[in-house]
Structure 1
Amino acid sequence: MTAADTKAAGPPVPVPRDPEADGSPLSDQGGNGPLKQKRKRKKGELLPYLLILPAIVAIAAVYLYPLAKTVIMSFQDMGRRELWSGDPAPWVGFDQFTNILGDSEFWWVTFRTVVFMAVCVTLTMGIGLLISLLMRRLSNWVRLILTFCLIAAWAMPLMVAASIFRFMADSDYGLINTLIAKVVGEDWLGHNWYLDPIQGFAIITLLVVWGAIPFVVVTLYAALTQVPQELEEAASLDGASSFGIFRYVTWPVIKPVFSMVATLSVIWDFNVFGQIWLLRGSKPEPEYETLGLYSYSKAFESTSFSQGTAIALITVILLSAVAVYYLRQLMKTGEVE
């Protein structure tokens, strides 16, 4: 093209700039630009929180007020007169906590609670794991019957289960004494299991473990179904023993679920109240008091409501430490993966 032709064609026509190429705000005018996508992304991020907002509000309405009232009452000295008259209870600060932590009885009750919880959790998780492993080797119809029995036992009301165990451990007509007497001798007929707190807690432990095993078995069996069978078969072909297959193939897969169930069992067994209360006829002896019963005894039998709430608050703090430890382990597992 000659210079004359260029001059005749006139000045160069500017080419329209593509807004989407450089991220210009004008790109939103078309409806699919970065600004609109960013707004959609923000709405998508807020949607899960909006969906769980009603549940959060309900939980806050049910739990926050009692928790706040418990914290306030633990720093007061509320007795029967303040409860019935409505007069404000005197503020005593940390005196309730000082008296409780300085009482040797409180530490004995705490030690008893921890030991009882440890035994219950160990038996529950051990037996539950063995049964869940056994369910993998059962036929479908036998597994279905076993699952139905477990769910039926889990659905049984606590009062009914406690009545059954109370009858089984009865000193005169109990099934446990009758069976032991047939093996050992007639001396076991009429044996009272609750005269010795260790034997009494053995019966209570049976009730707690019996009620907790169904949940553990069903949950762990669900986790075991996620273990790749080809990995176990490969390990078996390589000469690994049954224990080696479980340790190096099965256990790493079910460990997160096992830890979660174990943590829940710790919290539940630490707060055992109804089983002891019902087996001891609503009047548990001091030797059978755990932290929950000890708090109840201080609050309603000794009419020291503030001291009872302080013990309950200490229990919550102890269980919160367990929950924090579990969350830290869960976060570490996520980081490793």
Structure 2
Amino acid sequence: MSMPSWSPRAFEMRVKMAMKPTIFLVFEGKETDPWFYEQLVAKSKLRGEYEYELQPVELVDVENGDRSGGKARVLNLYKRMKSSGSLDVKTSGGRKVVMFCVDADHDRLTGRYIRSKYVTYTRHADAEAELLNSCDIVKLIQVLTSSGKAEAEKFAASIEGWQEELAKNWREWFFVCLIALFSGVGGPRVGAPPVGAKRVAGDCDADHVKATLVKMRQRSTSSASWQNANRLAKLKLDRYYDSGRERELLKGKWLAAVLKGLIDGYSRKNGGGRVRSDESIYVAIRSVADFSGRWTSYYTARFDALAGIGEAS
């Protein structure tokens, strides 16, 4: 049985016609996002003050031939409702507000970040990365490998700092992608995984990265523009790496693939269970994800502030 869907205009009317004060949370993903945001809402004060509805954007029909992906559709709907004045309305049924929740990806890095109290980006690159970083790595390894606590602790110690190491290995690739964007000469897309990245170590193909940069430089017709793109790319990355926030650039699917490789490599050498697939990592993460940590306050404060309960962070 298919779920009901609405045109963007019908969704706007549905928001206005809600019988009670309601917060609508529109999100992009199909697998992780519904559960992720349900858990966060449960941590907020919304339940005691407002009705709330979790709204997958896929249930809002495309309009005027718009075939954009989930995130773009969420943000397009936000822009439409902002323009029509229907983000935050008061009727006889009380106040109705819409919050749009999307993966950050690299929007903060590229400057595409929308600053609005009605738009919430994940702190890490996406919900999957956020959840992985909430986990006790020892518990996660135990679930994935069916190993005892002592063995899991031994393995966890052997890969300590693996995300930071991965981000360090990929820094030059991120740099090249940003230059391609800022210089306008074309090249790898920001957010694309490094070509030649090895599954286990997450190393980049340094020769390919260098060759890509050389080709881009050859296409540039302005030395000043090229230098400015280099300067801006370095400045953007330095803000992350110098402040120890580099792991925020890593997407969940990259982390799952690399973690699987690390676990399988360790198991080959020392014996133990291997991970069946990247998907099994997502399942394991959900089973040990910790929503009691301070990290949730970033989200709950935004939800509560939108409802007029507190202040956003």
TM-score, L = length of structure 1: 0.28
User: If the length of structure 2 is used for normalisation, what is the TM-score?
Assistant: 0.30
Larger strand percent: 2
- Between Structure 1 and Structure 2, which shows a larger proportion of helix residues? 1
Structure whose CA Rg is larger: 1
